[in-house]
């Protein structure tokens, strides 16, 4: 799955709408310290459904909203739009009709995040699954944060295995298995209740 464009609006230091066009080949982002290079990578991870404030270098998820400066007031919301090239039809069924589609995540203060895929309202899980199945999720080893290499070297085997699983595109299967197990447990406890009721009636 190729990314064509990343659009940021009110996200961290990107208070005004900003487009990063990602063309075929290598794209480099250069700039002085503190100009927002890492914020671009965080925007990419965030639009893919990242929900850990620590991964976004913040204390709460609302810390991604432009916080204001001496000259500009804080914003009430932030939005990131990722335009994906889907000509190879890697996106799962239901979203793979077009050659290109947008994934949008918007956060509003006190109202949390809302997501859209191709203009349709979806849940965070739908976005996370879409990328997990395409092996490019928010935890993908393709997105390397500062300090991550040294973390990887000292990581425990279990954490290293997670990285390999993400790269192999099977992390979506684990999530589905977990959800299936939760449903199974709920069904089993319902069954126990039915049996208890039947016992009382007989
Ligand atoms: P370096 O080369 O030092 O790693 P960088 O180019 O990667 O720097 P970033 O870390 O992406 O820079 O950007 C940091 C800047 O983003 C800081 O100036 C910080 O004040 C600003 N910033 C972070 N969060 C917000 C926010 N919520 N609102 C406004 N500005 C923010």
Which CATH architecture group holds 2-138?
3-Layer(aba) Sandwich (3.40)
Whole-number Å distance between alpha carbons of 76 and 193: 47
- 132-145 pLDDT tens trace: 776 666 666 677 77
Give the ipTM: 0.94
- 85-141 pLDDT tens trace: 888 776 666 766 678 889 999 999 999 999 999 888 999 988 988 887 766 666 666
Q: What is the CA radius of gyration of the chain?
A: 20
How many whole angstroms from 146 Cα to the centroid of ligand 1? 13
Pocket lining for ligand 1, CB < 6 angstroms: 12-13, 31, 33-39, 63, 65-67
Q: Is 53 annotated as a binding residue?
A: no
Q: Is 37 annotated as a binding residue?
A: yes
Per-domain boundaries in the chain: 2-138
Cα dist. 6→18, 102, 123, 154 in Å? 8, 10, 20, 32
Q: What is the pTM of this model?
A: 0.78
Residue 150 banded pLDDT, cuts 50, 70, 90: confident
Please state the rounded mean pLDDT for residues 19-23. Answer: 93
Please state the rounded mean pLDDT for residues 173-200. Answer: 92
């Amino acid at each position: 799955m190729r990314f064509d464009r990343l659009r940021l609006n009110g996200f961290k230091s990107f208070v005004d709408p900003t487009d990063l066009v990602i063309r075929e080949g290598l794209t480099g982002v250069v700039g002085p310290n503190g100009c927002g290079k890492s914020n671009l990578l965080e925007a990419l991870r965030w639009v893919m459904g990242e929900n850990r404030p620590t991964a976004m270098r913040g204390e709460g998820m609302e810390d991604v909203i432009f916080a204001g400066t001496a000259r500009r007031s804080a914003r009430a919301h932030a939005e990131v739009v990722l335009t994906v090239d889907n000509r190879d039809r890697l996106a799962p069924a239901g979203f793979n009709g077009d050659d290109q589609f947008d994934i949008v995540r918007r956060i509003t203060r006190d109202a949390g995040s809302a997501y859209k895929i191709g203009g349709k309202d979806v849940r965070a899980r739908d976005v996370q699954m879409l990328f997990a199945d395409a092996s490019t999720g928010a935890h993908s080893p393709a997105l390397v944060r500062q300090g991550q290499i040294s973390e990887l070297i000292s990581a425990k085997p279990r954490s290293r295995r997670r990285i390999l699983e993400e790269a192999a595109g099977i992390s979506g299967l684990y999530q589905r298995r977990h959800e299936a197990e939760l449903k199974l447990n709920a069904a089993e406890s319902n069954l126990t209740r039915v049996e208890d009721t039947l016992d009382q009636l007989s």
